[in-house]
């Protein structure tokens, strides 16, 4: 991996394993102090930008959300020089108006995960990084504007509750999350975004809605869900393409200085 310098990292979510989007790509194996990342990292050019890609659940979707080695994934990107991470992720909807097939660029999370390694600072140095605004405002705005340019059903802002999984919520939990003001539900955004913040890497989730969560009585058709998933993958690819064009060279956001007053 010596000599590779990459600006943008993409963590492929459910349905996005294929890094066929990259040109002149090669696979890199990275070892980290935290063990192995989810898979090989593919590095190449995407619309003229140097990009690293990793499938969050591994190429064959063999790693369940609660087992993902988030620290190894983020550490690998940091080693490659990544300064911005775009994170497509499949989510469930907790709101009538957020429909399957829509895209949400959330601005908050509620963490309901348990026992995950969620910090690089486990001893020696103590680090209290701010997650008051957990996602990069600049990169999120670029994602939203790209969605508008493409006339995609994209929503700006929203709260994502992140659950431990791998089981889905009970109806009571789903209703509780709605009462807390959560808009969408997912199993992976935390601690991924927190570790990115600790690494001073910008992070923006592209949350694509697969279906309504169980608060809503619904008729589940596997065909329907598979179709939505496929369409969401297409939308995500288009969104990523436009984002590449819109991402400026320099970062003007606070993410790059996240550790300034965080380390004791």
Q: Which residues bind Zn ion (CB under 5 A)?
A: 136, 138, 202, 253, 255
DSSP at 127: B
Tell me whether residue 102 or residue 200 sits nearer to Zn ion (CB atom).
200
Tell me whether residue 102 or residue 138 sits nearer to Zn ion (CB atom).
138
Minimum CB–partner distance for residue 148 and Zn ion (Å): 20
d(CA 213, CA 84): 30
Angle between helices 222-246 and 137-149 (to 10 degrees): 110
Tell me whether residue 111 or residue 138 sits nearer to Zn ion (CB atom).
138
Tell me whether residue 202 or residue 244 sits nearer to Zn ion (CB atom).
202
d(CA 209, CA 241): 20
Contacts of 124 (CB under 8 A, 6+ apart): none
**Residue 18 catalytic?**
no
Minimum CB–partner distance for residue 172 and Zn ion (Å): 37
Contact 61, 180 (CB under 8 A): no
* Catalytic residue of the set 213, 223, 234, 257: 213
* Catalytic residue of the set 107, 211, 234, 257: 211
d(CA 155, CA 102): 8
Contact 190, 111 (CB under 8 A): yes
**Residue 213 catalytic?**
yes
Contact 207, 185 (CB under 8 A): no
In sequence order, what are the beta bridge partners of 84? 8, 202
Minimum CB–partner distance for residue 255 and Zn ion (Å): 3
Tell me whether residue 140 or residue 159 sits nearer to Zn ion (CB atom).
140
Contact 41, 80 (CB under 8 A): yes
Active site residues: 211, 213
């Amino acid at each position: 991996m010596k000599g590779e310098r990459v600006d943008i990292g993409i963590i492929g979510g459910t349905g996005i394993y294929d890094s066929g989007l990259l040109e002149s790509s090669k696979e890199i194996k990275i070892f980290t102090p935290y063990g192995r990342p989810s898979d090989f990292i593919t590095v190449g050019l995407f619309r003229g930008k140097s990009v690293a890609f990793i499938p969050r659940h591994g190429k064959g979707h063999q790693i369940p959300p609660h087992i993902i080695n988030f620290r190894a994934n983020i550490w690998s990107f940091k080693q490659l020089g990544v300064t911005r991470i775009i994170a497509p992720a499949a989510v469930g909807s907790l709101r009538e108006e957020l429909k399957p097939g829509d895209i949400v660029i959330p601005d908050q999370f509620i963490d309901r995960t348990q026992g995950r390694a969620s910090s690089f600072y486990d001893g020696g140095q103590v680090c209290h990084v701010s997650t008051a605004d957990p996602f990069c405002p600049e990169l999120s705005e670029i994602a939203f504007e790209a969605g508008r340019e493409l006339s995609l059903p994209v929503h700006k802002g929203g709260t994502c509750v992140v659950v431990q999984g791998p089981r889905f919520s009970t109806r009571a939990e789903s209703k509780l999350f709605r009462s807390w003001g959560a808009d969408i539900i997912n199993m992976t955004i935390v601690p991924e975004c927190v570790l990115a913040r600790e690494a001073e890497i910008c992070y923006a989730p592209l949350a694509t809605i697969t279906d309504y969560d169980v608060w809503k009585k619904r008729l589940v058709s596997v065909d329907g869900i598979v179709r939505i998933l496929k369409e969401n993958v297409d939308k995500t690819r288009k969104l990523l393409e436009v984002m590449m064009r819109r991402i400026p060279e320099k970062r003007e956001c606070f993410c790059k200085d996240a550790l300034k007053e965080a380390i004791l």
